[in-house]
Structure 1
Amino acid sequence: MQALAVAAQVLIGVIRGVLFTANIQAQIAALIIVSIVCVTICVVRDRSERQLHQVRSVAEAEAAQRVLLQPLPAHAGPLRIAGLYIPADEEADLGGDLYAAARTAHHSTRLLIGDVRGNGLAAINNAALLLGAFRAAAHRQATLPRLAVHLDAAFRRDTGQWRSPAEQDTDEEFATVTLLDIPDHEPVVHLITCGHPPPLLLRGNDLTAPTAETSHLPIGFGGAFGIAEYNVQTFPFQVGDLLLLYTDGVIEARDGDGHFYLFTKRAPQWTKDDPDELLRRLREDLLAHVHGRLGDDAAVVAIRRLAL
């Protein structure tokens, strides 16, 4: 509109033969200045609205994260615990990475770390379902295998109850999960892995994968394939040991040249740090490797056993 006003003023000046008079030139100059000011105000306003929308989106995502991923307890029995969640995109909604902890009446701590297939609202919904099932049953189920059966059944029931038979044949809803039970008075970890990356045990400067490479099917597939029993793996977890649980967003993070993040080589550098400091250093190192942009959400839980 401002451009049309300037063009009209020029046309009037040409028709009347007064285009180069001081009065007409002053009017044209004034219109141009007003046009520039109006355009500048519109650009600044639009940019401010986009920034406000971005800030609101990030704030909403952070609020959703605090509700979905409730902070892990700093202490649970003899354990010192810390959790880290890094979204693939600061402006994006939460993904399907998750973790949770619960205390049992048998003086042990149960932990869950998992990764729900997909992203966006569907993944967030399924992550919420799985976390809700864990929090409701982790302290009630007598054994880890029974807890795994419960989670698989609850996940399949909740994700499948609204789908048509045709959708159930084509859609695949599942989550890779690691379940742990760590007794207060016994220096061991009991563990069930369902398609999830194995944990890493740091003892001094030595890092090992304490479990065999065997794994059950992801949560959501067990009942479909008739799995009613889950084998528990047990390994030593002594005072001073540090256990790292993580999702594949960590080990599959790549730099600009396509090189994977060397998690197993980087983590032992920080074994003497407490879990919070270790995860702070890990976050900085991981984001530096990918130049600030992850290809997938990443979650890590660090657990150190202390003396009772």
Structure 2
Amino acid sequence: FYLSADAEARVGGDLYEAVPTTHGLRLVIGDVRGKGLFAVETAAALLGAFREAAHDEPDLAALAGRVETSMRRRAADYAGSDMAERFVTAVFAEIVTPDRVVRIVNCGHPPPLLISSAEVTELETDRSSPPLNLGVLVGEPYRADEHPFRPGDQLLLYTDGVTETRDSDGAFYPLVQRIRSWGVLPPRELLDRLHHDLLTYSDNRLNDDTAALIACYIPDEPRAPTDPHAL
């Protein structure tokens, strides 16, 4: 789901996409720093670069690097403008079902949540990669972390508009505790619950764009036993 802090806006600086490829299911979620038309254009440019590179790059870290290169080229075209100063926090994910793993490249973004029947876990990284359009300044390579991802597991990607939502007392939204308290829900029901809970928690006063995306590893249907005497 996507919620804009501006009641009159349908799009903003948050972005997400999922692309099935021969390398696995590739996902991205991101948050362009800043608002307005430049933020929307930056988000569109990033998504275009991701959709193209997702099919070509076999390595997830290299995919993030390709998107970073595209963002730097675009910034160079707008040198001296507000667009050139934009940077994007993002998470790239790759789900490979035969290997039962999810790979994550975190570019300065809130950590994804792995939701299983037993636990809700933040997929933290020892060393976050730089936000997009800042990689050349930081000089750190993009790196991927790998985690188990089994049938029935869900991966929740979200922007910081979720965790930075505040109640009337100024307390931040406790995402992990809320998800744990609801138990295991189907993806659509979980997103709907989160959507409405954020609005209730903030008394319908969101101060930032908010986006969330769930990928679920659907278990195989059990096969019926074969009757050797059946025709």
1:134-153 matches, within 5 Å, as: 134-153=50-69
**Aligned residue number for residue 155 of structure 2:** 243
**Aligned residue number for residue 64 of structure 1:** none
The whole-number CA distance in structure 2 between the counterparts of 1:301 and 1:142 is: 23
**Aligned residue number for residue 133 of structure 2:** 220
Change (3 A) 1:262 1:218: same
Larger gyration radius, structure 1 or structure 2: 1
What per-residue deviation string (whole Å, max 9, x for no partner) do you get for residues 81-135 of structure 1? xxx11111221352211100111123x1000010011011010000000001001
Q: Does the CA contact (< 8 Å) of 2:199 and 2:206 recur in 1? A: yes
SS at match of 1:276: helix
Q: How many residues align?
A: 220
The whole-number CA distance in structure 2 between the counterparts of 1:279 and 1:270 is: 12
**CA positional deviation for 1:239:** 1.2
Change (3 A) 1:271 1:98: farther
The whole-number CA distance in structure 2 between the counterparts of 1:177 and 1:210 is: 14
What per-residue deviation string (whole Å, max 9, x for no partner) do you get for residues 271-308 of structure 1? 42211111011111110000112010111111221224
* TM-score, L = length of structure 1: 0.68
The whole-number CA distance in structure 2 between the counterparts of 1:103 and 1:243 is: 16
Change (3 A) 1:214 1:226: closer
Q: Does the CA contact (< 8 Å) of 2:111 and 2:122 recur in 1? A: yes
Change (3 A) 1:205 1:265: farther
SS at match of 1:204: coil
What per-residue deviation string (whole Å, max 9, x for no partner) do you get for residues 130-173 of structure 1? 00100111111121121111100101111231224xx58x9621
Aligned AA for 1:121? L
Q: Does the CA contact (< 8 Å) of 2:105 and 2:144 recur in 1? A: yes
**CA positional deviation for 1:181:** 0.9
Structure 2 residue 6 is the aligned partner of structure 1 residue 92: no
Q: Does the CA contact (< 8 Å) of 2:114 and 2:154 recur in 1? A: yes
Q: Does the CA contact (< 8 Å) of 1:178 and 1:194 recur in 2? A: yes
The whole-number CA distance in structure 2 between the counterparts of 1:289 and 1:156 is: 38
**Aligned residue number for residue 80 of structure 1:** none
Return the match for 2:105 from 183, 187, 192.
192
The whole-number CA distance in structure 2 between the counterparts of 1:239 and 1:135 is: 26
- Which runs of no fewer than 5 residues in structure 1 stay unpaired? 1-83
Structure 2 residue 86 is the aligned partner of structure 1 residue 173: yes
**CA positional deviation for 1:225:** 3.4
RMSD: 1.8
**Aligned residue number for residue 42 of structure 1:** none
**CA positional deviation for 1:238:** 1.1
Q: Does the CA contact (< 8 Å) of 1:198 and 1:213 recur in 2? A: no
**Aligned residue number for residue 18 of structure 2:** 101
**Which protein, 1 or 2, shows the higher relative CO under an 8 Å CA cutoff with sep ≥ 6?**
2
The whole-number CA distance in structure 1 between the counterparts of 2:102 and 2:79 is: 38
